[in-house]
Every structure is written in C-alpha cells, then in structure tokens.
Structure 1
Amino acid sequence: MSASTTVYDTRVTAVGAQVPAFLDHGIIVLFAHTAPPELHDISVLHEAAVTEDGPLPGDTIVIGPADAPEHLEVLAVGSVVRDNLLNLGHLDIKADGRTEAKLPGDVCVRTGPLPTPAEGDVFRITREQA
C-alpha cells in the first residue's frame, strides 16, 4: 500500500492578465508573489506553505479549487526546475506530452487543456511513497 506525500504546497494569490493567452498554448507560468512586477502579467502568483522539493517524473500536480482540483501527472522535468521552484517559486508547466524536457525549466504533463487557475486555488505537488 502506498501513501502520497506533499512536497510543495501553495495557494494562488493572483492571476496575470496574459495567463489565458499562455493557457491557449498549453503553458502555465508560476512565480512566487514576490516576483518582479514585470512578471506579474504573465504569471500565476502564489505564496508557498510547504517547500520540501520540486517535482519529479511520476509526481502529481494538483491545481484548481480545493474542492475539485485537477490532477496532472508529471512526465518529465528539466535540470533547473527544482532550484527555480525552491528559490524563486518559479515553474513552467507545459502540456506537451514530452517524456524528456525540451528546456531546462520545463515541467511536462499530458497533452491537452490545462486548468485555468484562479485566486485562492491550490497548487500542490504530491509524490507516492512506497
């Protein structure tokens, strides 16, 4: 029997005006709420409560309203994702179905529409434990 552990947990504090345009291209850009103002327009801003680790392939990203979030399996993770997330609260989620990240900052999930984040939504990364 396995249990899941939360390695990153945060709440969405704001959604930039350009986020829907990025969603149309299968991308969600997250930054901590302390990001420079010039990044706010393109970003889903958040304030983290748990920052144990970044995502690994096989982890699950949980995003959306607390009572009905969507679950996205992580397929691939670029080489700088962990440091970017833990140091800057930055993550690029791409719904491209890749099993190898194209760019060092990419987190790849299944191809298809991504959830539209809203202020107050959860964003969590969970990992199955044996």
Structure 2
Amino acid sequence: MSTGTTTVYDTTVTAVGEQVPAFLEHGILIFFGDHAPAELHDISVLHRVTVCDDGPRPGDLVHLGEETLEVLAVGDVVRDNLLNLGHMDIKADGLTEAKLPGDVCVRKGPIPLLATGDAFRITRQENTPEQDHS
C-alpha cells in the first residue's frame, strides 16, 4: 500500500472581517467565498477557490495558514455549502458528532487568525493499493 495526500479544497484568503477575532475567542471560524453578500463580510474569512473537488470528511486535515487541524466531525450540509457557496463553519469544540448541519468540528483549542493571502486548504490521506505495472 502506498499513502498519498490529496488536496480536495484549496483557496486563498482575500479578506478577513472585523468581527472574525471576536468569533475566534469563542472557537468559531466562518468562511464564505469572496462573492458572499456584503452583510456577511464582517463576520467571515472571505476566500477565492483554486481547487474545489470535495468537502471535508472526518480524518481530513484543514490547513489554516501555518496551522493544521484534524477534522473530527462534519455536518450533513457542509459539503454542499462549501462547494456551492465557499461557506464552512469551523468549531473548536472537540466533538466527534456535529451539533449543527453546517459544523466542521476540530479539537478544542485556539484557531489561528488568518490574513489576506494566507492559504485555506483541506487535504485527505489516500490509501491506494500498489499497482503492478509490468
């Protein structure tokens, strides 16, 4: 077996709303695509997508700038929201079952404050059988 890492979602932060640090104090980070309505800009990290293949699954890694967080649980609507709207809520609550359909749960602890130009990426470990190429 060979193990590789696949990037399923990759973006660049284009703006960070003024209220984002207040949400971070409560362990919440809200993302929206940079085409989101203006009333969401203050509370969100806005981003521009370069890879949009899938949403997060438990066990995936979310890379926020230099920090990496393991996904513990994912709500039912996260994939559609992320792929269609660029919307995702990260909650540092340590839960292994999402309370709300839009939640992406990670370990309890601080979530980094992103800045314009930072990467927001989701990667997945892929276990693929060795291929016989003879």
Q: Same fold (TM over 0.5)?
A: yes
Structure 1: 4+ residue segments shifted above 6 A: none
In 2: Cα distance, 1:62 partner to 1:45 partner: 15
Per-residue CA deviation, residues 69-92 of structure 1 (Å, 9 max, x unaligned), is 111000000000000000000000
Q: Residue in 1 aligned with 2:36?
A: 35
Q: Give 1 or 2 for the bigger CA radius of gyration.
A: 2
Q: Residue in 1 aligned with 2:25?
A: 24
Q: Residue in 2 aligned with 1:83?
A: 80
The correspondence of residues 2-81 of structure 1 with structure 2, limited to 5 A, is 2-64=3-65, 69-81=66-78
- Secondary structure of the 1:2 match is strand
In 2: Cα distance, 1:113 partner to 1:9 partner: 22
Q: How many residues align?
A: 126
What's the TM-score, normalizing by structure 2?
Answer: 0.93
In 1: Cα distance, 2:15 partner to 2:107 partner: 25
What's the TM-score, normalizing by structure 1?
Answer: 0.96
In 1: Cα distance, 2:94 partner to 2:74 partner: 12
Task: Please provide the CA RMSD for this pair.
Answer: 0.4
In 1: Cα distance, 2:95 partner to 2:64 partner: 20
Identity %: 70
- Secondary structure of the 2:43 match is coil
Question: What amino acid maps onto 1:62 in structure 2?
Answer: H
Question: What amino acid maps onto 1:46 in structure 2?
Answer: H
Question: What amino acid maps onto 1:36 in structure 2?
Answer: P
Aligned partner (choices 111, 114, 125) of residue 114 of structure 1: 111
Question: What amino acid maps onto 1:126 in structure 2?
Answer: T
Shift of 1:112: 0.3
Shift of 1:46: 0.1
Unpaired stretches in structure 2, ≥5 consecutive residues: 128-134
Shift of 1:23: 0.2
In 2: Cα distance, 1:82 partner to 1:31 partner: 13
- Secondary structure of the 1:114 match is coil
